[in-house]
Amino acid sequence: MSLPSRSSSGPKKPTVGTRNHAYGEPGLWYAASGLVLALAMLAAFIGWILYSGVTTFWPGRVVQAKLHDGSRRMGEIVRFEYSRAPDGSTQPAWLLRTGNFELTQTHFTWVRQNELDRFEEPSWAWVVERVEWGRFYGIPKVLLVDDQPIATEPETIWTKFNELHPDTVARRRRRQSLQTRDIGDVNARMEEARLSVRAAELRYGRDSAEVQRARAHEEEVRRWAERAYERLKAEIESLEANNRRFQLRMVTADGREATLKLGDIVRAYPANRLDRWDRVRIYLDRWREYLTDTPREANSEGGIYPAIVGTVSMCLLLVVLVAPIGVLTAVYLREYARPSTWTSLMRIAISNLAAIPSIVYGVFGLGFFCYTVGAALDQWWFPARLPNPTYGKGALIWASLTLAVLTLPVVIVTTEEALAAIPNSLREGSAAFGATRWQTIRRIVLPRALPGILTGMILALARGAGEVAPLMLVGAVKLAPELPVDGNFPWIHLHRSFMHLGFHTYDLGFQSPNSEAAKPMVYTTAMVLVTIIVVLNLLAIGIRNRIRSRFISETV
């Protein structure tokens, strides 16, 4: 009697009373729960940064807290929490951003429920954002031109302010441009002439004819600079005198008066009289300022444009530096090196490099790149500038090289794996047609391994862009007076220090004297950094996918 054959159509269906463990369902649920947990953590992280960053610049309403003792506090409610009162009880409390630092010596104040009589919303309470001293909260009393009042009612003051303020802002920006760009150009020409004299002395001797010609040229430049200084100084004084004509007198919640120059006001608005469109306009204008302007008020206000330029420049230079070194190393280990103890030790060493703390790379970059290589370059190429270092200090090039060393193991390992995935039949077929090993690698292996190589570039870019500890030692600064990339030849200045969004976030979170005002900027800066990393990665992924699809179509 023959036995019935087992069906091969699929797995046997469970019968009643059979445990699910026998069919692997618990493993499926465990794996799925891990995926769900990972996605939930990622969504919470990204969602919190996006929510906190996007809502930072939305203009809120201004409240006036009337206390039981008759005093008043005016400002924007930042947050609400339960805090411990002096008597030991736990009470609701509101944190108000009250501004007016030159009058109160504080930017924020707590209002507890046991002190509060009521909250009011003054109809004509203004929020004034200034170049210095932070925000000012008050009610406009009079608008002055040449010390003469031209408007005394809040509504009339608001109308006249909108007419006069744009011109004062234009004059302030013109003055800033003269002080930074034009005077900076004059100083640069004078420094260039001085250095030419110094270089001639080092090369030809102090009494040579070349030195005499250089000194004559320096004297000519000095006379030109004096005339330029006088012209720029006169224009700056004229702009400042015009802006001093326009003043705004404000009354604070406690009855004190303060006179503000219109030229020092970035923007002002009656917070409680804005409609939805006015709030959107102010919100977008704050974003424009944040993305295109320079920082002010210890980086807690203003923009992050220098940090964006520095971060993108460093990331692109990092990829340019790490790609050839990592790819060539991987090509040698996979295609040329014979299996031996030495190659095994090299692979172990490369893998162990990835476990070294990043601050160690920063110390290495400071000691080797800055103080050794940079100092040598100064001795060879810029002796006239010494003792002021040109390359013997933190700079964009040394920061990029330090991060290139840090991310090099990632590029080597991923490139080697990409090369190993190429079938040997392609190499053998190329050799059968008489191609050399290098021709095979260059024309057959590397093009097909390029998607995997780009994956390594993406991982290196993502890690390098988020590193902060090494950059604190080899180039990143709190405030850079000059951009590493600008319109002046040679356009990319590798010797300059730079601002970085990661270091800027650290500085806002832990070094800002106005921590409460800087706290929302931390989330906004982090959001911008994440966005830049995502955009750069998406560009690299798009290139990788195009290359991969091209080779797939050729194979088909």
* pLDDT tens for each residue of 226-251: 999 999 999 999 999 999 999 999 99
Question: 252 or 539: whose pLDDT is higher?
Answer: 252
> How confident is the model at residue 24, as a pLDDT?
56
Question: 556 or 52: whose pLDDT is higher?
Answer: 52
pLDDT per position as a tens digit, 63-109: 999 999 889 999 999 988 887 766 677 888 999 999 999 999 999 99
> CA 20, CA 41: separation in Å to the nearest integer?
29
> How confident is the model at residue 85, as a pLDDT?
67
CA 31 to chain centre: 37
pLDDT at 6 over 50: no
Q: Which two tokens stand for residue 274?
A: 């804005």
> How confident is the model at residue 402, as a pLDDT?
95
CATH fold label, 305-555:
MetI-like fold (1.10.3720)
> How confident is the model at residue 23, as a pLDDT?
54
> CA 528, CA 409: separation in Å to the nearest integer?
27
> How confident is the model at residue 540, as a pLDDT?
82
CA 469 to chain centre: 15
> How confident is the model at residue 543, as a pLDDT?
82
Q: CA–CA distance from 484 to each of 262, 311, 397, 475, 490 (Å)?
A: 33, 10, 10, 11, 10
> CA 122, CA 116: separation in Å to the nearest integer?
17
Tell me if 229 sits within 8 A of 186, measured CB to CB.
Answer: yes
Domain boundaries, the chain: 57-141+253-288, 147-244, 305-555
pLDDT at 547 over 70: yes
Contacts of 312 (CB under 8 A, 6+ apart): 532, 536
Tell me if 498 sits within 8 A of 476, measured CB to CB.
Answer: yes
Per-residue pLDDT averaged across 15-30, rounded? 61
Q: Please tell me which of 5-14, 390-399, 431-440 the model is most confident about, judged by mean pLDDT.
A: 390-399
| 288, HSE (Cβ side, Cα atoms, 13 Å) | 8
> CA 34, CA 28: separation in Å to the nearest integer?
10
pLDDT at 379 over 70: yes
Per-residue pLDDT averaged across 481-508, rounded? 88
> How confident is the model at residue 1, as a pLDDT?
43
Phi (first) and psi of residue 238, to 5 degrees: -65, -40
> How confident is the model at residue 463, as a pLDDT?
86
Mean of all residue pLDDT scores within the chain: 88
Tell me if 77 sits within 8 A of 63, measured CB to CB.
Answer: yes
Tell me how far apart the 2 most distant CA atoms of the chain are, in Å.
120
> CA 401, CA 399: separation in Å to the nearest integer?
5
> CA 350, CA 410: separation in Å to the nearest integer?
9
